[in-house]
C-alpha cells in the first residue's frame, strides 16, 4: 500500500521518502502507512489517554526528543487536555490520539514512539491497568524476561488476576493487569511494588526491584514505578526507535513466552511493522481484554490507597501493609466519628511483652501501651504510654506481626467490650471509665502525668472497688478465639507456610 499524499483531514504528509530506519529501508512514509493501517487496533488503546511522543524528525540516526506539550502549530482538530504542571506554573496541553487523523499527523511529525499514560482523562489518578515493565540488565535478554514474566504470573494467578504480556519492541517485556475498576495509583503502585519485592526476595539471582544498574547485571528489573500518575509506558502497537530496524511493541501469548528459551525463540518475538500487521490480520488484537476485563486488586492495597485520616497517618507511616496483616488506615467516615464506646485490650508479645489498651473515640482507637497490664486491685497505679491512634479495624486484630516489622510479635485480643465515659475527657488528660468487658468489669481512672518529648505518659488505676482478679489461664486466653499466645503464634506459622508454598 502506497503512502497517501495527505490525510483525510487535509494535512499534507511531508518528506515521506526520508529514511527513518536506513538499515531496513523503512521511510517516514512507511511509518505513516503503518500507523494508518494499525489505527483500528491501536486507537481503542490510546483513546483519551494523554500521550508523550518521542519524535525523530530525521529518523533513528538523528536527534530525538520527547514532546509532551502539543506544538503551537497543532491544527485545531487535534484534541488536547490541559494538565497542571507538577513543578512549575501553567499547564501541559497533552495530545489525545482519538482518531486516525491525529495518529497520522503525529507520525508525520516523526513521532516513531507513542507513550500514553495508564489513565484516561479526566480521571488522572485512576489507572486502567497495572503495568509491570520488565527490563533486562546486561547479560540477560528477552528469554530472561519471559522467565520473570511467568514468575509474575505465578503470583497473579492465585489472586485470580489475569495478565497480558507484550514485547516492548526493544529488549524487554511488559505485563498489563487490566483493572477497569476505580483504583488509584496509590493502590496499583503499592501492589506492583509488593509483587516486585516479593520476587526479588524469592529469586534474588533473577530479579531486582530497584533501579540501580549495577545490581541489574544478569537479572531483570521489575520496574513497578511505572504505575505513577507522572509516568508513561510505550503503547501497544507503537513502533520503537531503539534500534536500526523498526520493531513493534506487540502482544504475545503465554505459550509464546514459554517457548522463548533460546536466541531463536527470542528472534521470533521481534515483529517488524509489516509482520505486525500480518499477525494482527490473523490473530486480531490479543490486548483487547486489557480494555474490557474488570479486576480489583487485593483489598489491602485498595484500602492503603484511600485517603487516610490525619490522626492515623503516624500509624500508616510506621507499617508496611504488604508485610503485616494489621488493618490499613483509611478515612474515617462522618458516621464512624459519631460513634464510640468500644474498647479492646491486646496482649502483645513484641520485643517486650505488654498490653495495649484502646478506646474508641471519634472514629479511631486512642491507644496506650501498658507494660504491666490494667490493674485489678485497688491502690495499684500502672504506667500507660500513649501511642499513635489505631484504626477501628484493630479492635479485632489478632495474629502475628512479622519479625522485623514495627511491633513484630504475637497479638491476642485479651479483652473486648464497651465502655462508658463517666467523667473527664481525653484532651484534658483525665478519663473516668466504666469498662464492660468479658474479663474486666467496673470503674477505672486514667490521668496524664507528664509529656516526655511529645510522648504522653498516663497512669491507670482501679477505682471504687477491686475487680475480679484474672487467673493465669484467663490471662493466656483470647476472648475472641480462646487461643493461647503460643497457639496464635503457631497458627500463624502454619498459615504463613501454606501461603508461601
Ligand atoms: Mn503494642
pLDDT tens digits, one per residue of 162-188: 999 999 999 999 999 999 988 888 899
Structural contact between residues 479 and 413, judged by C-beta atoms closer than 8 angstroms: yes
**Mean of the per-residue pLDDT values of the chain:** 91
Going from the Cα of 415 to the center of ligand 1, the distance in angstroms, rounded, reads 14
3-state helix, strand, coil in the chain (%, to 5): 30, 30, 40
How many helices and strands in the chain, by DSSP H and E? 13, 23
Cα end-to-end distance, the chain, whole Å: 54
Prior bond of 122 cis (ω within 30°): yes
Going from the Cα of 407 to the center of ligand 1, the distance in angstroms, rounded, reads 6
Tell me how long the chain is. 501
Going from the Cα of 193 to the center of ligand 1, the distance in angstroms, rounded, reads 27
Going from the Cα of 63 to the center of ligand 1, the distance in angstroms, rounded, reads 59
Q: What's the CA gap between 351 and 104, in Å, rounded? A: 64
Cβ neighbours of residue 468 closer than 8 Å, sequence gap 6 or more:
376, 441
Structural contact between residues 172 and 134, judged by C-beta atoms closer than 8 angstroms: yes
Q: What's the CA gap between 410 and 111, in Å, rounded? A: 57
Q: What's the CA gap between 264 and 63, in Å, rounded? A: 32
Going from the Cα of 348 to the center of ligand 1, the distance in angstroms, rounded, reads 5
Please give the model's pTM, rounded to 2 decimal places. 0.63
pLDDT, tens digit, 9 for 90 and up, residues 28-60: 999 999 999 999 999 999 999 999 999 999 999
User: Nearest 5°: phi and psi at 378?
Assistant: -75, 150
Higher pLDDT among residues 74 and 494, named by residue: 74
pLDDT at 486 over 80: yes
Q: What's the CA gap between 442 and 191, in Å, rounded? A: 45
pLDDT of residue 405: 87
pLDDT of residue 498: 37
Going from the Cα of 178 to the center of ligand 1, the distance in angstroms, rounded, reads 39
Work out the pLDDT band at 3, boundaries 50, 70, 90.
low
Going from the Cα of 357 to the center of ligand 1, the distance in angstroms, rounded, reads 9
Going from the Cα of 498 to the center of ligand 1, the distance in angstroms, rounded, reads 27
Domains with residue ranges and CATH for the chain: 1-116 (3.90.920.10), 125-229+251-270+286-306 (3.30.70.3300), 316-500 (no CATH)
pLDDT of residue 238: 98
pLDDT at 261 over 70: yes
User: Among all chains, which residue has been given the C-alpha cell 518529648?
Assistant: 453
Average pLDDT value for residue range 310-331: 78
Going from the Cα of 368 to the center of ligand 1, the distance in angstroms, rounded, reads 8
Q: What's the CA gap between 229 and 79, in Å, rounded? A: 20
pLDDT of residue 362: 85
Going from the Cα of 381 to the center of ligand 1, the distance in angstroms, rounded, reads 19
Q: What's the CA gap between 85 and 318, in Å, rounded? A: 31
Structural contact between residues 409 and 483, judged by C-beta atoms closer than 8 angstroms: no
Work out the pLDDT band at 123, boundaries 50, 70, 90.
confident
Going from the Cα of 490 to the center of ligand 1, the distance in angstroms, rounded, reads 19
What are the distances in angstroms from CA 289 to CA 365, 391, 463?
A: 43, 37, 65
Going from the Cα of 463 to the center of ligand 1, the distance in angstroms, rounded, reads 25
Q: What's the CA gap between 476 and 470, in Å, rounded? A: 10
Q: What's the CA gap between 374 and 262, in Å, rounded? A: 66
Q: Which cell numbers hold the place of 369?
A: 501501651
pLDDT, tens digit, 9 for 90 and up, residues 271-309: 999 999 999 999 999 999 999 999 989 877 876 555 667
pLDDT at 145 over 50: yes
Cβ neighbours of residue 28 closer than 8 Å, sequence gap 6 or more:
13, 15, 16, 17, 18, 20, 59, 107, 108, 110
pLDDT of residue 496: 45
Eight-state DSSP code of residue 311: G
pLDDT of residue 210: 87
Going from the Cα of 161 to the center of ligand 1, the distance in angstroms, rounded, reads 35
Going from the Cα of 71 to the center of ligand 1, the distance in angstroms, rounded, reads 57
pLDDT, tens digit, 9 for 90 and up, residues 105-118: 999 999 999 999 99
Going from the Cα of 74 to the center of ligand 1, the distance in angstroms, rounded, reads 61
pLDDT of residue 338: 65
Work out the pLDDT band at 322, boundaries 50, 70, 90.
low
* Mean pLDDT lowest among 76-80, 108-112, 259-263, 385-389: 259-263
Tell me which residue of 31, 223, 19 sits closest to 113, measured CA to CA. 31
pLDDT of residue 307: 62
Q: What's the CA gap between 71 and 53, in Å, rounded? A: 11
Average pLDDT value for residue range 392-402: 93
Average pLDDT value for residue range 19-28: 97
pLDDT of residue 305: 56
pLDDT at 410 over 80: yes
Q: What's the CA gap between 476 and 485, in Å, rounded? A: 6
Going from the Cα of 411 to the center of ligand 1, the distance in angstroms, rounded, reads 8
* Mean pLDDT lowest among 312-326, 362-376, 473-487: 312-326
Going from the Cα of 155 to the center of ligand 1, the distance in angstroms, rounded, reads 32
What ranges in 157-284 are assigned the alpha helix state H?
Answer: 185-202, 254-258, 263-267, 273-283
Q: What's the CA gap between 171 and 102, in Å, rounded? A: 28
Work out the pLDDT band at 457, boundaries 50, 70, 90.
very high
Work out the pLDDT band at 317, boundaries 50, 70, 90.
confident
Higher pLDDT among residues 242 and 334, named by residue: 242
pLDDT at 497 over 70: no
- Cα 18 vs. chain centroid, distance in angstroms? 43
Amino acid at each position: 500500500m502506497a503512502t497517501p499524499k495527505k490525510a483525510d483531514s487535509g494535512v499534507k504528509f511531508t518528506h515521506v521518502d526520508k529514511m527513518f530506519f536506513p538499515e531496513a529501508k523503512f521511510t517516514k512514509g512507511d511509518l505513516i502507512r503503518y500507523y494508518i493501517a494499525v489505527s483500528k487496533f491501536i486507537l481503542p488503546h490510546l483513546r483519551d489517554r494523554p500521550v508523550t511522543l518521542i519524535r525523530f524528525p530525521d529518523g533513528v540516526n538523528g536527534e530525538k526528543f520527547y514532546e509532551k506539550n502539543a506544538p503551537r502549530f497543532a491544527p485545531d482538530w487535534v484534541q488536547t487536555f490541559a494538565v497542571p504542571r507538577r513543578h512549575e506554573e501553567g499547564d501541559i496541553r497533552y495530545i489525545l490520539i482519538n482518531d486516525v487523523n491525529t495518529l497520522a499527523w503525529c507520525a508525520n511529525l516523526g513521532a516513531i514512539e507513542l507513550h500514553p499514560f495508564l489513565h484516561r482523562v479526566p480521571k488522572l489518578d485512576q489507572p486502567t491497568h497495572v503495568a509491570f515493565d520488565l527490563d533486562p540488565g546486561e547479560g540477560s535478554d528477552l528469554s530472561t524476561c519471559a522467565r520473570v514474566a511467568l514468575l509474575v504470573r505465578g503470583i497473579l494467578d492465585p489472586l485470580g488476576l489475569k495478565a497480558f504480556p507484550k514485547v516492548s519492541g526493544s529488549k524487554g517485556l511488559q505485563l498489563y493487569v487490566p483493572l477497569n475498576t476505580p483504583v488509584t495509583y496509590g493502590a496499583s503502585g503499592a501492589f506492583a511494588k509488593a509483587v516486585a519485592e516479593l520476587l526479588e526476595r524469592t529469586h534474588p539471582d533473577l530479579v531486582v526491584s530497584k533501579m540501580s544498574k549495577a545490581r541489574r547485571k544478569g537479572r531483570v528489573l521489575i520496574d513497578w514505578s511505572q504505575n505513577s500518575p507522572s509516568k508513561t509506558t510505550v503503547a501497544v502497537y507503537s513502533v520503537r526507535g531503539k534500534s536500526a530496524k523498526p520493531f513493534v511493541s506487540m502482544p504475545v501469548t503465554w505459550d509464546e513466552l514459554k517457548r522463548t528459551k533460546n536466541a531463536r525463540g527470542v528472534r521470533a518475538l521481534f515483529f517488524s511493522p509489516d509482520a505486525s500487521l500480518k499477525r494482527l490480520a490473523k490473530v486480531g488484537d490479543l490486548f483487547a481484554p486489557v480494555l474490557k476485563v474488570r479486576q480489583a486488586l487485593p483489598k489491602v492495597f485498595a484500602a492503603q490507597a484511600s485517603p487516610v485520616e490525619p490522626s492515623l497517618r503516624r500509624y500508616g507511616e510506621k507499617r508496611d501493609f504488604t508485610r503485616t496483616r494489621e488493618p490499613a488506615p483509611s478515612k474515617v467516615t462522618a458516621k464512624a466519628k459519631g460513634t464510640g464506646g468500644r474498647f479492646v485490650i491486646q496482649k502483645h508479645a513484641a520485643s517486650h511483652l505488654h498490653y495495649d489498651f484502646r478506646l474508641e473515640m471519634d472514629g479511631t482507637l486512642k491507644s496506650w501501651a501498658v507494660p504491666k497490664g490494667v490493674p485489678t486491685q485497688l491502690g495499684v497505679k500502672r504506667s500507660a504510654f500513649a501511642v499513635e491512634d489505631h484504626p477501628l479495624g484493630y479492635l479485632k486484630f489478632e495474629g502475628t506481626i512479622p519479625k522485623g516489622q514495627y511491633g513484630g510479635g504475637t497479638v491476642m485480643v485479651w479483652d473486648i467490650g464497651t465502655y462508658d465515659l463517666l467523667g473527664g475527657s481525653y484532651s484534658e488528660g483525665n478519663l473516668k471509665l466504666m469498662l464492660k468487658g468479658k474479663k474486666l468489669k467496673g470503674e477505672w481512672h486514667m490521668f496524664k502525668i507528664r509529656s516526655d518529648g511529645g510522648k504522653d505518659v498516663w497512669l491507670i488505676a482501679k477505682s471504687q472497688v477491686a475487680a475480679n482478679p484474672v487467673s493465669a489461664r484467663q490471662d493466656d486466653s483470647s476472648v475472641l478465639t480462646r487461643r493461647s499466645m503460643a497457639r496464635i503464634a503457631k497458627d500463624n506459622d502454619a498459615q504463613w507456610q501454606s501461603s508461601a508454598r
